[in-house]
Amino acid sequence: MSLVTSFSSSFSRHLRRNTQAGSITLPAESDLRESSTLSIGAIVKQLRRQIGWGKSVQRRHGESRCGSVFIVGAGPGDAELLTVKALRLLQQADVVLFDALVSQEILSLIPGKVEKEYVGKRCKKHSFTQSAICQRVVALANAGKTVVRLKGGDPALFARTCEETAALQAANIPFAIVPGITAASGVSAYTGIPLTDRRCAQSVSFMTAHFQDASQWPEMAAMARNVLKQTVVVYMGLSRLQGLCEGLANHKVPDHWPVAVIENGTTHEQRVVTGSLSDISDRVAQAKLTGPTLLIFGKVVESRQLVNTLLLQSTEHATTI
C-alpha cells in the first residue's frame, strides 16, 4: 500500500466516524491509486475546503490564545552575572516588565524590538502597586504575549514573587521561574566578605528590614541572638540602619560588633563602608550613601579579603571606604 493510500484510508475512516454521513466527499481509494500526482497535501487541502477545518482551527486558536510568563532574576547588578537562560529569555520576549533594581547595563541587552515597561518600586516611591503589576502581567499574557517579569537579584528572595505567581495561577496562565544570583552572594564575592566562616559563623540568615506593614520592625531579640552566632544579611536596610544598631545594642550585642554596608553591589558604583554597631551610622552618613544597600552583621566582616575587582569588572574597580 502506498503512503498516499494509507493516509487516505486512515483519515477517511477517522472522518467518517466523526462526521455526519454525506457531509464530506472523500476521494475513492481507487482514484488515489490511479493518480500518480495526488499528494497528501492536496488531499488535506481538499478536505479543509469541504469542512472549513483551517478556519475553525484558526478561530479557536484566536479565542483561546494565551501567552506565557517567565519570572526572571536579573542578579545583583553586574550584567555579566546574568544566567544564560535569563539572557535568552530577554532576547525572545515580547515585553519585559522590569524593577528599579535592574541596572541600565542589563536593560541595554534587551533587543530594541522588545517592549520594556518600568514597574519599579523603591522606598516610598512606587510607580505601580503590587496589585497593578499583577493585573498588568496577567493582561499581557492573556493578549498572547511572552512576558519576562525581570526582578533584581533572585525572584525567591524578598521579590514578592508569590503574589504574582498566585495571580498567574488563578488566571490559568503558564509560568516559570528562572533563578538569579541574589545580592548577598554577589556582594560577598565582590567585597571579599564571606557569608560563612567556620571559625565564627557556620550559618547565615537573610532578612528584610521592611514588611507589608510599614510600621513593623524585625523582632530584635531574635535578631540579636542570630547576630552573635552567625552572619545576618539585611536587605533594604539603609533607612533603618541606626534603629537596627540601637536595637541590637539594647539586646546585649557588643558595641564593637562588626557591620558592613554595601551600596550598588557588584556594579562599577559599588561602595563599601565598614564599622561597628557604635559608629557605622555616622560612617555611612559621612559617606553619603543613598542606596540601594545591603547590610552585613557579624564577625565575617573582620574576615574580609580585599579582592582585586579589576579582575571582576571590565573598567574601574569599585571604591572602598
Nearest-angstrom CA–CA distance, 98 and 80? 17
User: Which residues, including other chains, have CB under 8 Å from residue 57's CB and lie 6 or more apart?
Assistant: none
Nearest-angstrom CA–CA distance, 281 and 149? 35
Nearest-angstrom CA–CA distance, 147 and 173? 11
Bridge partner list, 116: 96
Based on the number of CB atoms within 10 Å of its own CB, is 283 exposed (0-12), middle (13-18) or buried (19 or more)? Answer: middle
| Integer angstrom CA distances of residue 289 from 40, 102, 233, 265, 293 | 71, 19, 18, 12, 8
Catalytic residue among 78, 99, 145, 154: 99
Nearest-angstrom CA–CA distance, 150 and 154? 10
Q: How many helices (H) and strands (E) does the chain have?
A: 12, 13
Catalytic residue among 85, 94, 116, 121: 121
* Mode of pairing for the β-strands spanning 121-122 and 258-263: unpaired
Positive or negative: CA dihedral 304, 310, 315, 320: positive
Is residue 121 annotated as a catalytic residue, yes or no?
yes
Record the cell numbers describing residue 9, joined without a space: 484510508
Give the count of alpha carbons within 13 A of 156, CB side only: 9
Is residue 85 annotated as a catalytic residue, yes or no?
no
Nearest-angstrom CA–CA distance, 207 and 243? 15
CB-CB contact of 289 with 237 (8 Å) = no
CB-CB contact of 159 with 178 (8 Å) = no
Catalytic (active-site) positions? 99, 121
